[in-house]
A and B are shown apart, each in its own frame.
Chain A
Amino acid sequence: MTEALAPFQRLEHQSVLFEDGLALDCGAVVMPLKVAYRTYGRLNAARSNAVLVCHALTGDQYVAERHPLTGKPGWWEAVVGPGKPIDTDRYFVICANVLGGCMGSSGPPEEMTDAEGRGLGRPWGTDFPSITIRDMVRAQKRLVDHLGIGRLLAVVGGSMGGMQVLEWAATYPEMMVAAAPIATASYHSAQNIAFHEVGRAAIHGDPDWKGGRYWEDGRIPAKGLSVARMVAHITYLSEAALTRKFGRKLRGASALTFLEDVFEVESYLRYQGSTFVRRFDANSYLTITRAMDYFDLASEHGGEVAAAFRGSPIRFLVTSFSSDWLFPTVESRALVRALNAAAANVSFIEIATDKGHDAFLLDEPVFHRALGGFLQGAAERAGV
């Protein structure tokens, strides 16, 4: 593959190729299907200690190790690792880059293929088919099958990862003992779709996006993607967290001069935007935000969330965070009530925090104790 195919630095990722491809909800087939993934810990002899971690919108498979592109620690090292709540000394942890992503799985930056699976020498770009959360889950299921695991001990994820957890539980209930959807909901709300649309509009409005064909001249729509990230980043925080971190502090000044003053919070957001464009593909961002917006578990099950889980053998842990206004507690509570209506085995707690939606990624000891205990309880009952 040439450099021109990819606007950002290409890396080799551990992956598996399924030549027969994947049939998508939209009717299209992605052939072949590539799933990039990482694993941590050891699979036991009974193959019963596997935990699948599902990543969020801009996450990837590098959960608990230095990221090969950014050099930063894994995105969930607070939770996944030796002695951590998802204990890699005990569990075999799997994380796959989602379908539509840009860290090696089939997605917009990968080489486009025709109906026979032949490479066309250009990236998919915006020609990558529309995907759903369920398509992402089906791709992960292929990986789990490939690894020879008949039943996962748990599927765990936050935000969009939590949507995948719910979709896993609804689609493959016999393939898992426990499910932990975190800071998520059974559908993407109008407000969340609205914020996504602002981000997409920023990308579309960047002349460097070139109708999605920015790969042709090796440029990236950095301005648009960066604005999309800045808007999204605000939704991941809370007012209290922004006030605590930045308040009205100015950068390099103690009082307003009215001459190009920059608030700390502005500078922080610009930094977030500028680093993001170096690790994420704009067309992937468009594809994945759409998949989140399409997500509505009830509509897949006759208008009732409970119908997705009736008779489910799975033990659920639903967790929300008090200052999360992107996926507020009220949506988690609605999910819990639907699980109760389905007579499912469910635990639910709301963690008190001012860190907003991002709290699920951060140092939240109470959350970590609860998640660790829940997994341990599931493992004991499953005889792991």
Chain B
Amino acid sequence: MPDSSAEVRFVAKNMRLDLRLIADMVAEGARVLDIGCGDGTLIEHLTREKRADARGIEIDMAEATKAVAAGLPVIHGDADTDLAFYPDGAFDYVVLSRTLQAVERPREVLRQMLRIGRYAIVSFPNFGHWQLRWKLLTTGRMPDNETWDRKWYETPNIHPCTIRDFFALCAEEGYVVERWLAVDDKGLKSPWKRSPWLANLFGEQGLFLLRRG
């Protein structure tokens, strides 16, 4: 079902880079659940461009309301508690974009995603990026940049991980990594993209397409 090409074929203006890359992984007409869907940008895009049956969960009430007011099927809910209520195999893809690091129990959320969906698409900011490592090494303080922009005591990102950490978790849980890619902060997909070691150093975000083993 996933496209064989990793190229971005459609570039929606004003859509976050990782959302564009995710959209490219979704097949035509698929059933999609977007966890942490914000105002529903990806849902709207998938509905319009891929004729997908796309739905969303959003924890921020203001964002969920915006999505509903735009006519999109979004529920106010929490990835940690609400996924358990969906039946097995309800979706072709379950998407978790830049939210994994903010959930209470990332491993359980992944399990639920692959229970209710055939594929899981997960993107997250890579805590192994060289700039973060450099800041920690040179200043001895918790890194902060555009992505990690809140102080350690108030960040919602309570479970940061690196691209290699994520590979390790997938191996432990027996998930098959169908595709993966890393992008730098400019959104460029660079030559190092095939090496997890290099990607872990230079990739600002990791993006994974998983299925059950």
A-B interaction: yes
- Selected from A345, A352, A374, the residue in CB contact (under 8 A) with B61 is A352
Q: Which of A23-31, A248-256, A375-383 contacts B (4 or more CB under 8 A)?
A: A375-383
Question: Is residue A293 within 8 Å, beta carbon to beta carbon, of the partner chain?
Answer: no
When distances are taken between beta carbons in the complex, the residues of chain A under 8 Å from B87 are: 341, 343
> By the criterion CB–CB under 8 Å, are A348 and B75 in contact?
yes
With known contacts A337-B82, A337-B85, A343-B90, A349–B70 Cβ distance under 8 A: no
A374 touches B71 (CB 8 A): yes
- Cβ of A77 < 8 Å from any Cβ of B? no
Question: How far in angstroms is the closest Cβ of chain A from B168?
Answer: 31
Select from chain A the residue with minimum beta-carbon distance to B64: A349
| A 340-384 to B, binary, CB cutoff 8 A, 1 in contact else 0 | 110101111110100000000000001001101110111010000
Given contacts A340-B82, A341-B87, A349-B64, contact A373 B77 (CB under 8 A): no
| Residue on B nearest A320 in the bound complex, by CB | B76
Interface residue total, chain B, C-beta cutoff 8 A = 21
Determine the distance from Cα of A203 to Cα of B55 in the docked complex, in whole angstroms.
48
Query: For the complex, is A317 an interface residue (Cβ under 8 Å from B)?
Result: yes
B198 contacts across to A, CB distance below 8 A: none
**A345–B76 alpha-carbon span in the complex (Å):** 13
Nearest Cβ in chain A — how far from B161, in angstroms?
28
The answer, yes or no, to whether A326 is at the interface (CB within 8 Å) is: no
CB distance from A329 to the nearest CB of B (A): 9
Give the shortest distance, in Å, between A20 (CB) and chain B (any CB). 40
A315 at the interface (CB under 8 A from B): yes
Question: Is A336 in contact with chain B by the CB < 8 A criterion?
Answer: yes
**Neighbouring A residues of B68 by C-beta, 8 Å:** 317, 347, 349, 370, 373-374
Bound: A340/B35 CA distance, A: 14
Which of B53, B68, B87 has the most chain A CB within a 10 Å cutoff?
A: B68
Bound together, the chains give a CA A374 to CA B65 distance in angstroms of 10
Which residues on A sit within 8 Å (CB–CB) of B100? none
Give B56-92 as 1s and 0s: 1 = Cβ < 8 Å from A's Cβ atoms.
0000010011011111111111000010011100100
Please tell me if the beta carbons of B61 and A347 are within 8 angstroms of each other in the complex.
Answer: no
* Residue in contact with A343 in the complex, picked from B64, B75, B86, CB distance below 8 Å: B86
B85 CB → nearest A CB, Å = 4
A380 to B70 CA separation, bound complex (whole angstroms)? 11
Q: How far is the CA of A99 from the CA of B85 in the complex (A)?
A: 35
B82: chain A residues within 8 A (beta carbon): 337, 340
Q: How far is the CA of A366 from the CA of B67 in the complex (A)?
A: 12
Q: Contact at B75–A347, with CB atoms within 8 Å? A: yes
A172 CB to nearest chain B CB (Å):
21
Q: Which residue of A lies closest to B47 (CB)?
A: A381
Cβ A348 vs Cβ B71 within 8 A: no
A350 with B76, Cβ < 8 A, contacts A374-B71, A380-B71 known? yes
Q: A316–B98 Cα gap in the complex (Å)? A: 27
Interchain CB contact under 8 A, A349 and B86: no
Q: Which of B53, B55, B65, B73 meets A370, CB within 8 Å? A: B65
- In the complex, residue of chain B having the shortest beta-carbon distance to the beta carbon of A380: B71
Known: A337-B85, A345-B53, A347-B74. 4 other contacts (CB 8 A): A348-B75, A366-B65, A377-B70, A378-B71
Interface CB pairs A-B, < 8 A, 20? A336-B75, A338-B85, A340-B85, A341-B85, A341-B87, A343-B90, A346-B73, A346-B75, A347-B68, A347-B73, A347-B74, A348-B74, A348-B75, A348-B76, A349-B65, A349-B75, A370-B69, A373-B68, A374-B71, A377-B72
| B contact set with A: CB distance below 8 Å | 53, 55, 61, 64-65, 67-77, 82, 85-87, 90
